[in-house]
Amino acid sequence: MTELPTITAFSWVPDFAKGQVRDIIARWAFAELGLDYRTELLNAASARGEEYVEWHPFDQVPAYRDEEVEMFESGAILIHLGERHGHILPQEPPARAKVLSWTAAILNTVEPALRPVSLLPLFHGGKPWTEEAVAALRPLAEQRLKRVSAALGENDWIAGDFSIADILLVFVLRSFGGDMIAAHPNLVNYMERAMARPAFEEALAKHLADFTTEPA
């Protein structure tokens, strides 16, 4: 009997973060691939200690382990699962290059522009990040969304067939897009199309079902 791959997730987070923690990215990939996995649950209200930091140097979730490798960071776990199990990361070079391009762009160009617009008011509302300071970040976030919308056009998915790039992009749009998405009907439809996939529904349900404890 082989051991199931393991990811870490949280057993408790504040309500606003439920549905938004990055273990959902790995869960979605597992569900698309029809793979079983187990979760090792941590409590977001307490630091995880040195042993966990050996596994995940930034003390976040998800970390990942299978019979062969240990790793961390949801973007990397997606690439690993795609390399190992197929279709969410194509083998054929032009299609693969396109998926890798979008994967890196979402991690490094799209999310970093959107995230502060959505998170800074949440964590430090008013002072020192005034409405004016946060508003000054919106033009870049809106420009990036406009470029994503233009690249998507009338296609179903961002980089050819459904891929790891869509898993990441939908995560970013759901978690950090806020009211900026509404300006782009094709992105609204894209999110609906993605979230209607049985694999997304399964991942979200399992993600929510693991919130089983109170703050540590």
- Interface ranges with a second copy (CB under 8 A): 53, 57-60, 68-76, 79-80, 93-94, 96-98, 100-105, 107-109, 111-112, 115-116, 124, 128-130, 132-133, 135-136, 144, 147-148, 150-151
Pick 91 or 213: Cβ nearer a second copy:
91
How many residues are recorded in the chain? 216
The span from the CA of 108 to the CA of 135, in Å, is 21
Q: Cα dist. 104→33, 99, 190, 212 in Å?
A: 21, 9, 20, 33
CB of 104 to a second copy, least distance (A): 4
Pick 134 or 197: Cβ nearer a second copy:
134
CB of 15 to a second copy, least distance (A): 22
Amino acid at 150: A
Pick 172 or 181: Cβ nearer a second copy:
172
The span from the CA of 117 to the CA of 94, in Å, is 34
Pick 9 or 113: Cβ nearer a second copy:
113
φ, ψ dihedrals at 9, nearest 5°: -150, 175
